[in-house]
Structure 1
Amino acid sequence: MFNKTLHLQSVSAPIHTFLSLLINTIKLMLKKLLFVLLFGNLAYSQQDIIAIKSIDFNSEVTAKMLDQNQDLRKINILLNERKNNAITNNSLTIGTSIISLLDYQHSNTDSKFGYLMRHPTANNQIGKDVSEAVIHSFQLSLTATVNHWLTSYVEILYNPQQAFGSGTITALERNQLQLRKGIVVIGDLNRFPLYGAIGKMDAPFGQMGSVNPFTNSTSWHAFAGLSYGAQLGFKKGGFHAKVMTAQGGAQFRAMHTPVGDNTKTPSKLNNYVADINYTFALIEKVKLLIGGSYLRGSAYCQEFPVTHFSPCKDNNPAYTFYGNLNIDNRLTVQGGFAKTTKVWEGTHNPTPPLDIYEAAKVSTLDIGAKYTINPENKVTYTVSGEFSNLKCGPDGAPWERQNQMVIGLSGLINNSSKLFFEMFRTEGYVPLNFISGSNDFEPFPPGTTHSDRNANSLGFVLGAQLTF
């Protein structure tokens, strides 16, 4: 782990002046935020509102916060690291992470690649073979602490490979910086089990993290929500419960609810997620976590024909059950199942011959395991395997299902940076946009669909995630 504090006194005069100005500005903003949050009704000591005293670089904490597919409940990590004093009071912690990849994949069907870690569009994937050497993503994080109970976290993301902008990966619209997450967290688990958060954050729905070193599970792509909202949690011992109220609409990831006037713009706090889980020891060095979640509005509510980010007339709730078994911090076995409570109306195409397939509920299943070979070494090696799937059509439908299998090997350096290799196979090609076809000749003639249950692809990913 690289953990170093850069004190302002050690910086040269010009940089010292700049940092002093920056810190004074941050101080003023945080003081105003503190006053607004408390409305002047809570007393606090003078020591609680002193200036930021240090700028920290903690690569181990940064690796946990910026990992894009493992342990995705980032508010939990933030609170636990504060509880363990890995993030100190009155500090600004800066972190960065970059993922670079060399990958190849082959499909048995022209221009139909089911691997979801690469944006599946015909603009970027032509023919039956694709290979590339790319920057998958770059992240920048800033964690600021005012006192023992008030923390802010901001994450900036650059990810042209998975951006939903138009054009190819060289198009300007897909090469933008975005505020991926931005939250203010209120709470101190050392003093009180209740905490809260306001901002743009991951929805606490299910266990969306993966055992893979790089690839997200199919469950994540189907149900992992991200939106503006407010979260309230209670954590005591092995018991953890939380509820999040979120802004509805169709433009946030996997958090669709109608907001009126046929608009897709999130403008009401009319969606929510509730989650509860419990961790207990089975025997010495063996822990089991079990949990369940409920989501008022999932992504699967549009009528035919389905298009991304279009508004819904009604919401489609979803539920999930999940578990995680950890043995001696070396072997992890986890799994989960999620399903909507209603059918997805858009999965029925009314035009023959596809009209024989009735609308179906959407479900996902994932199960995986990873084993760390040498947990005490500076470079730790982990092997992993995972199966996950998406099912959104009846048996035999072209959009019936998409399966994903991944085998991975990774080396973690100083608990922060990793090198990894994965082999993957997908079965089925089920893009959610126009999943069951179109009612016009563009982009597909009536009675046809680009979904294909017989398409499959095979490939590998060789990459590095370097975190500082």
Structure 2
Amino acid sequence: MTVSFGGRAVLAALTMAVGMTAAHTGEAQEGVGFLATSLRYSERMLDRQEDVTNKVAIALRARQSGQLGINKITFGGRFLGTVIYENTNTPGKFPILSRLPPTHTSGTSDTYGVINDISLIATATTPLLTAVVQGEYTEVEYPGQNDIQLRKAWLAIGDLDRSPFYVAVGRKTVNFGNFASYAPFTHTHSSHYFWAQTKDPLIEIGYITDRTELALSIIRNHRGNRVISSPKNDDHYTNYALNAAHRIPLANGMGLKLGAGFLRGTIYDSAIAHHPPGSGIDRGWNGAWDVHATLSGERFDVMAEFTQTTDRWPATDHKVSALTLQGRYRSEFLGRPAVYSLSASHGRQGASGTEWESMSQVILGMEVAVAPNVTLGAEYLFNDGFVPLILPRRTGDAGVQSHSIILGAKLTF
């Protein structure tokens, strides 16, 4: 087994990352004139593992706390690269999530390196406006997509010091569910099945306080990125999402966060399980609902999330659901801040005994902050079941099991 050219590039980046240091902690904004950087803000806005669906709240709270200055343009960026070793008991079938088919071999094992993404983000602020533009380069794009993409472009009207209400318009992740993953690099079944992203602009109306987040998103009837779709995709704005989260303070500095959400239109509405077309197929609305809870202490977080479609998916004649249970503990490794995590998730879309019934995944993870802007991570993954959500009745194989090891680095400014 050999590591491809991409893998050597990633290994070089890892070596360079270890030697990097930062002159500041990133807690506050730094810059000259109207140009600035904020490391902690960039870390949260560019993180796909946590704070997945509520980026508007992150940005508006950053304004309020001073991480974002008013009348400034704040720049940030991130490099995320990984080296992946996979082994499967069935040639050509690798059920690891967050990886696309072109990255896999036809054999039973493989080692390769990829640039997951190189992202750049710019945030411009005025007394009432916050504008965000984010682009990226990736080597794991979906077939047919460009490797350079405009991922987000939205404008929010609001200032939490004046009012808890805001309005946002643009291309962004839909505010539905939580879908956080405590693992360093790999998604859970919850996010793999139900993470909703738009290609067309949506309208989000929300309410944010120190403990509460509420959002209503009005979505255009088009096939979006990932899970978004509607029966006719007729350009009307009749698809929508509702999301709510509230944090309850507990004794000994702990807190309990409870959340729930609903999305009206998903891709699980057609017998054709391959990017359903906008017309010509008799489809109806098949929404999804979500509940989640997170118990947090000074050093730990424990989370549970469950999401399910409201009706059966015609492609499998069964409701689609995902369950995630995970926890993490903040400590040290060789004197550096470290996070240890365990994540288990399960996705189901078929009747008991079918080859396409379900998939399961368990991840042991570790991340170490070797410098203020550099994090190294490692994962061990066990996957059980192979059910691509494209043509699951044809491609599903319940007997597939795989073991994977992922090493990677995140560089952020």
Task: Show the counterpart of 1:150.
Answer: 129
Q: Find 1:77's aligned residue among 51, 58, 82.
A: 58
Structure 2 partner of 1:245:
218
Residue in structure 2 matched with residue 452 of structure 1 by the alignment = 397
Specify whether residues 415 and 233 from structure 1 end up closer, same or farther in structure 2 by C-alpha distance, changes over 3 A only: farther
Structure-1 residue corresponding to 2:297 = 327
Would you say 1:223 and 2:194 are equivalent positions? yes
**2:223 alignment partner AA:** A
- Report if the CA contact (8 A) 2:254-2:295 is conserved: yes
Please, which of 232, 256, 275 is the counterpart of residue 308 of structure 1?
275
Q: How does 1:74-113 map to 2 (within 5 A)?
A: 74-113=55-94
Deviation at 1:5, TM superposition (A): 3.8
Q: Percent identity?
A: 27
What displacement does 1:415 show? 5.0
CA distance in 2, matches of 1:320, 1:217: 14
Q: Does 1:129 align with 2:96?
A: no
Task: Specify the code of the residue in structure 2 equivalent to 1:344.
Answer: W
1:74 positional shift: 1.1
8 Å CA contact 2:308, 2:319 repeated in 1 = yes
* Inter-partner Cα distance in structure 1 for 2:29 and 2:358: 48
Alignment-derived partner of residue 350 in structure 1 = none
Q: Which residue of 2 aligns with 1:317?
A: 287
Q: Evaluate the alpha carbon distance shift between residue 62 and residue 373 of structure 1 in structure 2; reply closer, same or farther with a 3 A threshold.
A: same
What is the CA–CA distance in structure 2 between the aligned matches of 1:240 and 1:413, rounded to whole Å?
A: 33
After superposition, residues 1-400 of structure 1 pair within 5 angstroms as 1-2=25-26, 5-7=30-32, 53-72=33-52, 73-121=54-102, 124-147=104-127, 149-161=128-140, 163-166=141-144, 176-227=147-198, 228-259=201-232, 267-303=235-271, 305-311=272-278, 313-328=283-298, 330-347=299-316, 359-374=317-332, 379-400=336-357
Q: For residues 370 and 37 of structure 2, what CA distance do their matches in structure 1 show?
A: 16
Contact 1:428 1:452 in 2 (8 A): yes
| Per-residue Cα deviation, 1:206-255 (whole angstroms, up to 9, x for no partner) | 11111111111111011010113111111234232111111122243211
1:92 corresponds to which letter in structure 2?
I
Contact 1:302–1:310 (Cα < 8 Å) also in 2: no
Matched AA of 1:239:
T
Compute the displacement of 1:260 (Å). Answer: 5.2
Letter in 1 for 2:322: T
Call closer, same or farther: CA 1:368–1:391 in 2, change over 3 Å: same
Whether the 8 Å CA contact 1:60–1:415 is kept in 2: the answer is: no
Aligned 8 A contact 1:181 1:200 in 2:
yes
Letter in 1 for 2:204: Q
Over 3 Å counting, the alpha-carbon distance change for 1:70 and 1:413 in structure 2 is: farther
**After the TM superposition, which segments of 4 or more aligned residues of structure 1 sit over 3 Å from their partners?**
2-6, 309-312, 413-416
Larger Rg over CA atoms: 1
2:215 & 2:412 partners in 1: Cα distance?
30
Given that residues 222 and 233 in structure 2 are in contact (C-alpha distance below 8 angstroms), is that contact kept between their aligned partners in structure 1?
A: no
Aligned length: 382
Letter in 2 for 1:94: F
State how far apart, in whole Å, the 2-side matches of 1:81 and 1:160 are.
31
Separation in structure 2 between the aligned mates of residue 362 and residue 415 of structure 1, nearest angstrom: 41
CA contact (8 A) 2:223 2:233 kept: no
**C-alpha contact (below 8 Å) 1:246/1:271 kept by paired residues:** yes
Which residue matches 1:409? Answer: 366
Task: Provide the aligned C-alpha RMSD in A.
Answer: 1.9
Distance 1:323 1:308 in 2: 31
The 2-side partners of 1:222 and 1:97 are apart by 25
| In structure 1, C-alpha distance between the alignment counterparts of 2:275 and 2:132, rounded to whole Å | 29
Given that 2:157 and 2:167 are in contact with CA atoms closer than 8 Å, whether structure 1 keeps it comes out as: yes
From the superposition, tell whether residues 260 and 185 of structure 1 become closer, same or farther in structure 2 (CA, over 3 Å): closer
- What is the CA–CA distance in structure 1 between the aligned matches of 2:209 and 2:37, rounded to whole Å? 30
Distance in 1 of aligned mates of 2:81 and 2:295: 31
Match of 2:406 in 1: 461
8 Å CA contact retained: 1:160, 1:175: no
Contact 2:249–2:255 (Cα < 8 Å) also in 1? yes
Gap change, CA 1:92 and 1:406, over 3 Å in 2: same
Q: Which residue of 2 aligns with 1:420?
A: 377
Q: Distance in 2 between matches of 1:176 and 1:237?
A: 38
Q: Which runs of 5+ in 2 are unaligned?
A: 1-24
- C-alpha displacement of 1:124: 3.7
Query: TM-score by structure 1 length?
Result: 0.78
Distance in 2 (alpha carbons) for counterparts of 1:412 and 1:197: 33
Q: Cα deviations across residues 292-326 of structure 1 (Å, max 9, x unaligned)? A: 101101221111x4213434621201111100111
Residue 202 of structure 1: SS of its match in structure 2? coil
